[in-house]
Structure 1
Amino acid sequence: MSLQITIAFLTALGIGSLITAVVSHYLGKGKEVDFKKHEQKERRYRSVLLYMDVYFEPQNIKFLSSRQPDISSQKDVIEYLKAEYHEMLLYSPREVLIAVKKFISEPTRENFLAAVLEMRADLWIGKHDLNLEEIKINFPKS
């Protein structure tokens, strides 16, 4: 009887270890996929923010590594942002979409910063820990 218990115990350990290994593998894959999604979203958000910033200072487009050669004016920047916005419809939460849409419709520094705050909340903290007045920089009028 002792031999049967020992065999049953070892079998249970083997199956338990196998189940643990399989579950760990799939959980690890899930985390890896989530990380890649987050990384991709961050990359897209950064690009959008850089182009929003270029709207205010079009000459700074030369500093963008992902520069589109056919973008040379504020109108071109808005058209680029519209295309990015349409892609964002696939992966961005409602708040980010609304903020980006508002910037495209009315490109102001306040709307730019509002979009930044929404992207920040989506990517990192899940809440709004800052407000516009706290992050606003007063720029001289052009």
Structure 2
Amino acid sequence: MNERIEDKVHFTQYISVPSPTSSGRSAAWLAKNWHLLNHLVELEATTLSVSARIEESIRGRMLNVVVHLCNVEDDTDFTELVLLSLSSELVKIQSISADYIEREVRCNLRGRRVTSDENDEILKEIMDALEKRGVRIDYS
């Protein structure tokens, strides 16, 4: 069985996939062609649109930064994540370190397919949302 795999940068590659009933051959084929499959998965990465908003917890003790990640080509394909939670009282009396925010966001994005450019855009949206809310951010 031959499958034609094509993506938006017009990369075309033909691969021959062994039938699932020949498990020994499938495992050997997979081991031999793992690098090709990884390359194809990387090429099919989607472009994300990013937005962030601040939500207060029910009792107003925490500020949750909710990030909306949406597939640019299909606006029904999206996810919303709480990437940062801060104490409402703490942000009233002191500034929050930009390094702390970046570490928390990176930790909470671990395991997700997010490029470094998308990660930078997520951080920018979070910082903008926090500053609009009146949170002081220490960039030093």
TMscore range, shorter length: under 0.3
Larger helix fraction of residues: 1
Q: Which has the larger radius of gyration?
A: 1
Larger strand fraction of residues: 2
Question: TM-score, normalised to structure 2's length?
Answer: 0.22
Question: TM-score, normalised to structure 1's length?
Answer: 0.22
